[in-house]
Chain A
Amino acid sequence: MNDGNPILTLALTFGVMSLFAVGGANSAIPEMHRVAVDVHHWLTDKQFADVFAISQLSPGPNVLIVTLIGYTVGGLGGALVATVAMCLPTALLAYGVSRFLNRSSHARWPSILQASLVPLSIGLMAASALVLAETSDRTWAAILVTGAAAVLAASTRLNPLWLLLAGGCVGFMGLLG
């Protein structure tokens, strides 16, 4: 691709990638790794693991891993371009689709379509939660923490930050192995 202008390459790469990232940013992580490490050699394998960890630990949506990749490639400008390229086109697409669905209010199918997406979306999230739990809960303590967090989050109005804090404390005490 355009090796002369890394910023343009960033914009094109993430702009196109976002259009195929169905199901959210995490589904695009393997593709990001392939493109950033294997194709363009922007980061080493190790650096990619680091920016992934940092983006998970930072506040904000996890898609902001692209901000860190962009920063590595092109400083502040690269960070901004990568973020906008990854986020803006699909956000505008979602805006267009939502407007279209809500404008044709004389027809019943838009609301039927939107309502039918709800159970699908919930199922996908439950499945990914299950997959994550299966791979990371290797001890009884970890399973207990996952279960307690789920029960507390579902049955109380406790601010989730308290759950994160408690989970962090349990982890720091070394109880999760």
Chain B
Amino acid sequence: MPPDSSPAAIAAPDSLAPTPPSLIALFVAFAKMSLAGFGGVLVFARRAIVEQHRWMTADEFNETFALCHFLPGPNIVNLTMVFGSRFRGIAGGIAAFAGLLGPPVVIMTMRGCHCPRCCWWRPRSASPSP
């Protein structure tokens, strides 16, 4: 547990990061939250964007996510494009989008998970095929 884990530190930071994130920073940040995101990425996205990098205030994050929630499509994927493009135009959106989706897609397809029996971490429901 990090030393700053006291509840007092939760208060939303007033100061945002001085410089907007670069394309590489967007890609890396979204790749990290994606790879941490077992069971969903939203929690990790808020943590990284609002608390760690301070790229948005808590209010801005809420409004951005609510819009993405309201529009069709996977919410967090919509968020990558809206968030990234706010800082670096469409290229920023694509960098965040690729960061979120690229690494897990590579992992899924490389592990050969089209065949659940081959996975060492196969779910309990998986049984030998007939």
CA distance A124 to B107 in the complex (A): 31
* A158-B5 contact given A24-B75, A115-B63, CB 8 Å threshold: yes
Q: Is A166 an interface residue (CB 8 A)?
A: no
B104 touches A160 (CB 8 A): no
A68 touches B114 (CB 8 A): yes
A93 touches B71 (CB 8 A): yes
Which among A3-11, A47-55, A134-142 touches the partner chain?
A47-55
CA distance A59 to B123 in the complex (A): 14
- Dominant SS at the A interface? helix
29 residue pairs of the A-B complex, CB under 8 angstroms, read: A21-B74, A59-B34, A60-B101, A60-B107, A61-B37, A61-B77, A62-B39, A64-B101, A64-B104, A67-B105, A71-B113, A87-B77, A87-B97, A88-B97, A91-B80, A93-B78, A94-B67, A94-B78, A94-B82, A95-B82, A95-B93, A98-B64, A98-B86, A121-B65, A122-B66, A156-B7, A157-B7, A159-B47, A160-B36
CA distance A50 to B126 in the complex (A): 6
**Contact residues of B with A, CB < 8 Å?**
1-2, 4-7, 9-10, 34-41, 43-44, 47, 51, 62-82, 85-86, 90, 93, 97, 100-101, 103-105, 107-109, 113-114, 116, 119, 121-123, 125-126
- Which residue from chain A places its CB closest to the CB of B36 in the assembled complex? A161
- Which residue from chain A places its CB closest to the CB of B82 in the assembled complex? A98
CA distance A120 to B5 in the complex (A): 30
- Dominant SS at the B interface? helix
CA distance A99 to B86 in the complex (A): 8
CA distance A118 to B60 in the complex (A): 10
Give the one of B7, B36, B82, B100 with max A CB within 10 A.
Answer: B82
- How far, in Å, is B63 (CB) from chain A's closest CB? 5
